[in-house]
Amino acid sequence: DIQMTQSPSIVSASVGDRVTITCRASESVDSWLTWYQQKPGKAPNVVIYKVSTLESGVPSRFSGSGSGTEFTLTISSLQPDDFGTYYCQQYRSFPLTFGGGTNVEIK
Amino acid sequence: QLQLQESGPGLVKPSETLSLTCTASGGSVSSSTYYWGWIRQSPGKGLEWIGNTHNSGSTYYNSSLKSRVSISLDTSKNQFSLTLRSVTAADTSVYFCARLPSSRGAFDVWGQGTVVIVSS
């Protein structure tokens, strides 16, 4: 199974800050990497898929980059609505696997 | 536009079988473009993929659950189902059903989730 490791597990940042979250895969996932945002009590929503493709309706302050085994989700200017837990997920091979999550808090 | 809705018992006894159904509306589970999957989340924990099914008959399962889980598709009812046998308290979770377009590799439509508690 491909293991997905996210860091950090918690980010506390102020409105307007640049926030970066990293996801590392135990082997190459090519470009099959998705980022989700989940808010308490809700289902996750896609933010970025295929490493860097912004989901429709997601603000352009979100961006994704990386290849192979190391990937990054960046929020260029953190906004109050960006709080929540962010997960990466690989689709390179079954079984599908998620990262452990990064909780983004607004200071 | 597609909506998914989970249904099933909210309380299951230890050692018994958990059975959930996901009903699709506004779209068809017969489409070969998509996988249909189940994901769960234990209280305060992260997301855990359970498995996916496809109209071709292909099914894929989480390695740690493979011996206890099965997922099936019922195109006549536009539903897909999850069965998890021999449950324990560790299976207490919110269970989500979701759609995954094979061309995108992302679960792009989710049900609202259903809470299942395993307790006697």
3-state DSSP of chain B: CCEEEEECCCEECCCCCEEEEEEEECCCCCCCCEEEEEEEECCCCCEEEEEEEECCCCEEECCCCCCCEEEEEECCCCEEEEEECCCCHHHCEEEEEEEEECCCCCCCEECCCEEEEECC
Which residues in chain B are closer than 8 Å to A43, comparing Cβ atoms? 96, 98, 110-113
> pLDDT of B66-106, one tens digit each?
999 999 999 999 999 999 999 999 999 999 999 999 999 99
Q: Is the bond preceding A59 in cis, omega lying within 30 degrees of 0?
A: no
Helix (H) or strand (E) run with residue B52 in it: strand B47-54
Beta carbons of B61 and A101 less than 8 Å apart: no
Residue A86: what pLDDT?
A: 98
Query: B31-78 pLDDT, tens per residue?
Result: 999 999 999 999 999 999 999 999 999 999 999 999 999 999 999 999
Confidence of residue A58 (pLDDT cuts 50, 70, 90): very high
Q: What is the pLDDT of residue A6?
A: 98
CB-defined contacts A:B, below 8 A: 63
pLDDT attached to residue B104: 94
